[in-house]
Structure formats: structure tokens, C-alpha cells
Structure 1
Amino acid sequence: MGAHALDKYAKELADLAASARAALVREIDASGAWAADPVWREVFEAVPRHLFVPYYYVGVVGGHERRWGESPDPRTREQWVRGAYVDAPLATRLRDGELLSSSSQPSLMAMMLAELRVEPGDRVLEIGAGTGYNAALLAHRLGDDLVTTVDLEPEITEAARRHLAAAGYHPTVVTGDGARGVPERAPYDRIIATCTLPSVPRAWLAQSRPGARILSPLATGLIALTVRDAEHAEGRFLPTPAYFVPLRGGGPEPEPAPLGGVPRRAREDELFRFLLILTRGNLDPQEVFTLWEREGHPRRERYGITVRGEHEWAWLDDPEGPYAWPLT
């Protein structure tokens, strides 16, 4: 293929990406994901997701198929671009068939960013660099200097840095344990995690300004905490479900408890399973079912988390009420 033909094809691919991105933005807009902060629409219109997923994996019969932006087949490259702008999570790293890293569903990212409630000048820490796409969205809105993203895996942070530079963004990318935060860049006004944690690390509170907001996946939900000071934070879960890969380095996931004796309708209800995970180690599944039935199958927003000194607990309805379970 000659230089002229290559340039023509590159322009066609760029046009396809712009068209697919515009369609994704319309879809997210219709979902109401950024209704709380519509400025994010302009950000998603501007930041090219396909530059952050130079390859990804799609499920096929018998395993996964790699979609690659450098494929010699033009149709495969077009498939890759279109797939990058589908409102779905994209598997970006696999090891022995196990998902290690992904680019989250864009509408969920949009909702989380809107719920983060950033203001101009806010300093933000992101836990879990992933592809770098979320950091790019934050950097576009706030500026490179105010955004820090951290991940435990050097190959992930190296790739994120490379993708960010290709898209024209240069936030601070740190290789380290996200549970420890990034103290040298503190204090933060906002902390957002893109991986599931079993509890809220104390280091995040210590690195936050009073009044800071922390948004983190926990037990298939999203907890939104307001930091009072380095020893105290409290907040409720958002209504939406959220499924993320666990924080790397956070220790092995506990084995799920056997659900014998729990009716099938509960076992298959994601709100029951949310409560089951939230109370793990404190209630057995039958006790969880009894509570769930007695309280009328409570929705996520009735639950919250309090961190106070050395103690951290989840609760239903009231932090000081009868339903409270320590988190570890």
C-alpha cells in the first residue's frame, strides 16, 4: 500500500473512530449517566478511547479472540475501532484465561465521574490505572498537574503512560500499592478507585483534605464517603451495581460461603448477594436471608460505611443502629 493510500486509510479510520465516539456519547447521554454533572459529556466527546485499547479480547467459543489496532487485515482494524466505542467493558489483560485488567464500561465510568463531584482545582487520586483512559478523562477536565493514578503492576503503568502520551495527556502515573495511596502527591480533594476493595484503607483518609469525597467499589456496589478528618469518614452506597476486578496485592479473595438452605430466588437476587458479601465473616447465609426478608429486600442506598479511628463497619439505615458489621 502506497503512502497516499495509507494516509487515506488512516483518515478513514480516524473518521470511523470520531463517528463511533459520537454515537457512544449519545448513548451515554440517553442513559442519564452524567445527569449530575453534564460537563463530562464534552470530556467524553474529546478523549479518544481507542488510543487506550490498542488491543483487547472478546469472548468466543472456546476462549478469547484478540482484536488489534495494528492487524494487517483492514476489516479487523475496523472491528477493533467499532468495538472500542461499544458501551461495554473491554478485557485488556488476561493470564491463563483469568481477567487481570479491563477498561470499564464507559457509561459506568461516566456515572462514577459525575458522582465524584469534582470542582475546578481539585486534586484527584485514582486507584487502579488500567489503560489510562479514566486518568485521561480526569486530566482533560482538571489538568495534568492535578491528577495522579497508581497501579501495582509496572507493565500496566508503563502501558497507561504510553497510551496517555499518545492521546496528549501527562498526569502523574505511579507504580505502587493503591491501598497505601500516593502520599507524596497528597493532599487530595477526591479519590476514585476502579477496583474492588474489602474495606476502605486508612491511608486514603490520611491523604485527604477535610471534606474530600472518596468513591470506591465495594461488595458489588459503589460507596461514596465524605472525609471528616484523617480518622473519620462516612457515607452511603449509590443505587447502582458495580462489578470490578479486586485490588491487586489486596490478598486472596475469601471463599464464598455455601448457600445450602437459602431459597433459589434469593441466591439469584443481586441485592441478596450484595448483602451476603457485605456481611461476609459476620453472618452466615441463612442469617443474611432472614435479615434480607425481614427488612424487605433493602436496596443498596440503605447501606453505608463508617470509618472511625481503628474501627470500620458497614450498616443498614443507621451507623449506630442494630444492623452493623465490622469490615476487615
Structure 2
Amino acid sequence: MGAHTLDHGLDDLAAQARAAMVREIEASGAWEADPVWREAFETVPRHLFVPYYYVGVLGGFERVWGEDPDPRSRERWVRGAYADAPLATRVRDGVLVSSSSQPSLMAAMLTELEVRDGDAVLEIGAGTGYNAALLAHRLGDDRVTTIDLDAEITESARRHLAAAGHHPLVVTGDGARGVPERAPFDRIIATCTLTTIPHPWLAQCTPGARILAPLATGLIALRVRDAGHAEGRFLHTPAYFVPLRGATRPERAPEHVEGLPTRARNEELLRFLLALTVGGLDPREAYALWEREGHPVRERYGVTVSGEHARAWLDDPEGPHTWPLP
């Protein structure tokens, strides 16, 4: 039994589970600003993109897969494939290297991407191919390009996409360099955490293009003015993704929380600021700023990209609180 030739019982279960997932996303308000996305989530079968995934268990991971000889295990696989939760899809030496994001977060990000019919979109981080399928469902295969550094990931994404009837361009390469041969793009969406905004992206964008990317533990939405300039603010949504791997990605220093008050260490918004200021601000200075400014929410921060340089800021790009990104 191949994962795409489900027996009828599982087919029905997948349809029910998908409908339940869509209701849950609807209730979260994720696509309120652009309800056209509802149809993509109703149509694209997520289970085809996760023929297996891993569930954390004591001491490691357990593999849940669609061709398990036990029918109850296959049912568990289908239900899990449509849970509104992230799924671990690749584990190497006990470390998570790739995952399929939580569907409601994907819906929120796709809505925030503000696509219009005819837009050309570049996705950084192919993952399972599910996000590219949602984009291709809405915009058409020829308007979507997705890139990943790992040939194993791109190969399986291509296979999953074909099984679901989609054939956007899937490229194996360093996402930080973009895909110049497919430029220009009207939208760039990253599904992996960045430490800075790679400047090649700007040159591959049309003026007015929108870039949406996880940075630190937030989502930055940038408007591109031209090949040398982009600026924007963070959305309120927290976002935790697997880091971008590639030649141009500087290794991020660990978050130094020693020396900070214990009660502050687990404050999500402080950890966001610490991640955003790595290498640009001493953790104690960051903490002092956080206290002085009344524990700022994510939307008060932004990023400006100018030429080769990118910097983050609080409240005002020209204000007193600004620091370089790596």
C-alpha cells in the first residue's frame, strides 16, 4: 500500500481530519485578512507530505508512518498529519533537522505574505513541500520556486508535490543566495530562522516586494524599496523554526542569560530581544533596555537593510536604540 493509495477507510479519515484542521485554523483567525487561503488548506492533502514523522518520546523519537502494518497505527498517522501542530520530519543523530510547521502558523504567514494573483514567490526552506503546494494551488506551479540546501529534502519535497499533483520549481542550493535565474520575485517567504537578512534577496525582488522571514524568535515583514533597501517591523506572532543552514549563515552565539535575574530569564519577549541583539548588544545592556522601555512587545521592533548592512531597532529606525545584525 503506497501512502498515496490509501485504503478507503483512511481516505475518509484523512478528509474528516483535514476538514477539522481547517475549522481549527478558521477559529484561530489566521486567514481572516485573506480567506482565499481556506480553499488551499481544504484541498491540499497534508498527509501526502508527511509519509512519516517523528513523535518525541522519553529518550528520543518514535517514527509514525503511513505504511505501518498495524491499521490503528496508520489511523494514528493520519490523525497526526492533520493535527494543528508542527511535525518533526527529519531527525539525524537524535537532532531535529527538518519539520513541517504548525498549519495555523503557516496560514498566518501566508496571509501576512499578502500575495496577489500573478505574484512570483520564492520560498526559502522547502521542508516537506507542503507550503510550496499551498502557494502553487493558489498562484500556479510556474509562479512558485522553493529552495533547500539538502538534496534529500528537495528530492522528497519534489516527490510529495508530484503525488499531490503540483510541480513548482524545487531547487537544491543555499537559500541565502536566493535563486537569481528565477528572479524577479514579488514575494519571498522563509520557513527557517535567520540571523540577518541576506542581501542577495533584495536584488532578486521587484520594487515594493514583501519579504516575510523568521528572525530571532519573531517574524519580520520587510517592504523592499530597491536592490539596496528594505525596511519593516516584526509581527506580534512568536515563531520558532529550524535555523537556515548554508555557507553565508554566521553561527549564532548562545543566548547569555547568566547574570540576569532568574525571573527574567524565561520571559519570552526578553529572550526575543536577546536573540535579536546577539553580537550587537551586551545581554545586560539588553536587559536594562527591556526594563527601561517597559518590556516592549515584538511589534515595536523593526529591521532596516541598507546595502550590505542590516540593523534592528526599537520604535524608530532613526531613534537611539539601534544595533547591527550579524
User: With structure 1 as the length reference, what TM-score do the two structures score?
Assistant: 0.96
In structure 2, distance between residues paired with 1:255 and 1:234: 25
Mapping of 1:122-161 within 5 angstroms?
122-161=119-158
For the 8 Å contact 2:194–2:243, the answer to whether it is kept is yes
User: What is the SS of the residue equivalent to 1:315?
Assistant: strand
- Give the equivalent residue in structure 2 for 1:51: 48
Q: Which amino acid aligns with 2:235?
A: L
For the 8 Å contact 2:280–2:325, the answer to whether it is kept is no
Does residue 66 (structure 1) correspond to residue 63 (structure 2)? The answer is: yes
In structure 1, distance between residues paired with 2:166 and 2:325: 37
User: What is the SS of the residue equivalent to 2:116?
Assistant: coil
User: What is the SS of the residue equivalent to 2:241?
Assistant: coil
For the 8 Å contact 1:17–1:81, the answer to whether it is kept is yes
| Aligned counterpart in structure 1 of residue 281 of structure 2, from 268, 280, 283 | 283
Q: CA deviation at 1:308?
A: 1.0
User: What is the SS of the residue equivalent to 2:56?
Assistant: strand
Mapping of 1:164-175 within 5 angstroms?
164-175=161-172
Question: Structure 2: 5+ residue runs without aligned partners?
Answer: none
In structure 1, distance between residues paired with 2:170 and 2:107: 21
- Compare 284-293 and 125-134 and name the one that shifted more: 284-293
- Deviation string, structure 1 residues 203-246 (Cα, Å, up to 9, x no partner): 11000000000000000000000000000000000001000000
- Deviation string, structure 1 residues 263-307 (Cα, Å, up to 9, x no partner): 122111010000011111122221111100000000000000001
- Give the equivalent residue in structure 2 for 1:86: 83
Identity %: 77
Question: Structure 1: 5+ residue runs without aligned partners?
Answer: 2-6
User: What is the SS of the residue equivalent to 1:212?
Assistant: strand
- Deviation string, structure 1 residues 41-81 (Cα, Å, up to 9, x no partner): 11100000000000000011221110010111111110000
Q: Which amino acid aligns with 1:165?
A: A
User: What is the SS of the residue equivalent to 1:122?
Assistant: coil
Does residue 232 (structure 1) correspond to residue 238 (structure 2)? The answer is: no
In structure 1, distance between residues paired with 2:255 and 2:282: 8
In structure 2, distance between residues paired with 1:251 and 1:313: 16
Structure 1's 324 and 252: CA in aligned 2 closer, same or farther, altered over 3 A? Answer: closer
In structure 2, distance between residues paired with 1:307 and 1:207: 14
Structure 1's 34 and 101: CA in aligned 2 closer, same or farther, altered over 3 A? Answer: same
- Compare 237-246 and 276-285 and name the one that shifted more: 276-285
| Aligned counterpart in structure 1 of residue 301 of structure 2, from 300, 303, 306 | 303
In structure 2, distance between residues paired with 1:116 and 1:184: 22
- Compare 248-257 and 306-315 and name the one that shifted more: 248-257
Q: CA deviation at 1:36?
A: 1.3
For the 8 Å contact 1:257–1:284, the answer to whether it is kept is no
In structure 1, distance between residues paired with 2:250 and 2:194: 11
Q: Which amino acid aligns with 1:149?
A: T
In structure 2, distance between residues paired with 1:137 and 1:19: 19
Does residue 25 (structure 1) correspond to residue 22 (structure 2)? The answer is: yes
In structure 2, distance between residues paired with 1:258 and 1:216: 24
Q: Which amino acid aligns with 1:279?
A: T
| Aligned counterpart in structure 2 of residue 193 of structure 1, from 190, 214, 223 | 190
Does residue 254 (structure 1) correspond to residue 257 (structure 2)? The answer is: no
- Give the equivalent residue in structure 1 for 2:325: 327
User: What is the SS of the residue equivalent to 1:113?
Assistant: helix
Does residue 12 (structure 1) correspond to residue 9 (structure 2)? The answer is: yes
Q: CA deviation at 1:126?
A: 0.2
Q: CA deviation at 1:260?
A: 2.6
Q: Which amino acid aligns with 1:264?
A: T
Structure 1's 251 and 203: CA in aligned 2 closer, same or farther, altered over 3 A? Answer: closer
Which portions of structure 1, spanning 4 or more consecutive aligned residues, are displaced by more than 4 angstroms? none
For the 8 Å contact 1:89–1:104, the answer to whether it is kept is yes
For the 8 Å contact 2:213–2:220, the answer to whether it is kept is yes
For the 8 Å contact 1:210–1:228, the answer to whether it is kept is yes
In structure 1, distance between residues paired with 2:145 and 2:74: 32
User: What is the SS of the residue equivalent to 1:205?
Assistant: helix
Structure 1's 257 and 88: CA in aligned 2 closer, same or farther, altered over 3 A? Answer: closer
